[in-house]
């Protein structure tokens, strides 16, 4: 198991804004929700200072992976989706953020991936109040990810893609 998934805590929901206010779920309840597709959250690492968290809602074909910095700010987000008839998740969005010394978002990049290889890019510089948009075709074959088995989040929780 990787360092980011060595310690798992299951919760109903978790938020970096209210990190100590969550309803912890025992593994049996989280496993039940995984099996039925209901929403549950997996906190990766120490629950007091997590490395990342996942929101898993398989009935809707959704897994969100949110990586946190030392200040518990979400600096990297991967959003995966699954259409009817697909047996794998597809990385549909990747969002990177940088922060200034006060904790405000300084800049961000958002990539939206389509299964046909179309990639939309939006970049924002909040300090300069500038934004750019772009579109290109790219190989997105690496965006496919197996639906994680319960308790096995190593692959989907990879930072490097």
> Domain boundary residue among 19, 34, 60?
60
Domain assignment present for 154: no
> Domain boundary residue among 40, 60, 80?
60
CB atoms under 10 Å from CB of 105, counted, come to 15
Question: Do 70 and 141 share a domain, yes or no?
Answer: yes
Residue 67: alpha-carbon gap to chain centroid: 7
- pLDDT > 70: what percent of the chain? 91
Mean pLDDT along residues 106-117: 97
What's this model's pTM, rounded to 2 decimal places?
A: 0.90
What is the structure's pLDDT at 151? 95
Spell out the residues 6+ positions from residue 82 whose beta carbon is closer than 8 angstroms to its own: 61, 62, 88, 89, 90, 147
Which residue would you say has higher pLDDT here, 93 or 46?
93
CA distance 61 to 59: 6
Structural tokens at position 8: 């798992």
Ranked by mean pLDDT, which of 67-71, 83-87, 135-139 comes out on top? 135-139
Question: Do 70 and 52 share a domain, yes or no?
Answer: no
CB 115 within 8 A of CB 90: yes
Question: Do 70 and 56 share a domain, yes or no?
Answer: no
Mean pLDDT along residues 94-112: 95
What is the structure's pLDDT at 6? 66
Nearest to 143 by CA among 80, 84, 83: 80
Count of structural domains, the chain: 2
CB atoms under 10 Å from CB of 142, counted, come to 9
What is the structure's pLDDT at 1? 40
* pLDDT of 3 higher than 50: no
Mean pLDDT along residues 11-33: 81
CA distance 108 to 8: 29
**How is 79-119 classified by DSSP, letter by letter?**
EEE--TT-SEEEEEEEEEEEE-TTS-EEEEEEEEE-TTSEE
Q: The domain containing residue 43 runs over which residues?
A: 1-60
pLDDT digits (tens, 9 = 90+) for 27-54: 999 999 999 999 999 999 987 888 999 9
pLDDT digits (tens, 9 = 90+) for 55-67: 999 999 999 999 9
Residue 76: alpha-carbon gap to chain centroid: 7
């Amino acid at each position: 198991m990787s360092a980011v998934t060595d310690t798992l805590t299951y919760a109903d929901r978790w938020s970096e804004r209210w990190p100590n206010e969550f309803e912890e779920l025992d593994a049996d309840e989280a496993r039940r929700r995984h099996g039925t597709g209901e929403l549950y959250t997996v906190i990766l690492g120490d629950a007091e200072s997590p490395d990342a968290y996942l929101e898993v809602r398989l009935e809707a074909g959704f897994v969100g992976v949110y990586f946190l910095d030392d200040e518990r700010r979400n600096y990297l987000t991967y959003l995966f989706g699954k259409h009817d008839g697909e047996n794998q998740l597809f990385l549909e969005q990747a969002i990177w953020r940088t922060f200034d010394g006060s904790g405000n978002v300084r800049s961000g990049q958002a990539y939206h991936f389509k299964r046909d290889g179309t990639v939309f890019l939006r970049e924002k510089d909040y300090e300069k109040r500038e934004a750019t948009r772009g579109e290109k075709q790219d190989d997105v074959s690496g965006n496919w990810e197996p639906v994680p088995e319960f308790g096995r989040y190593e692959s989907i929780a990879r930072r490097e893609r």
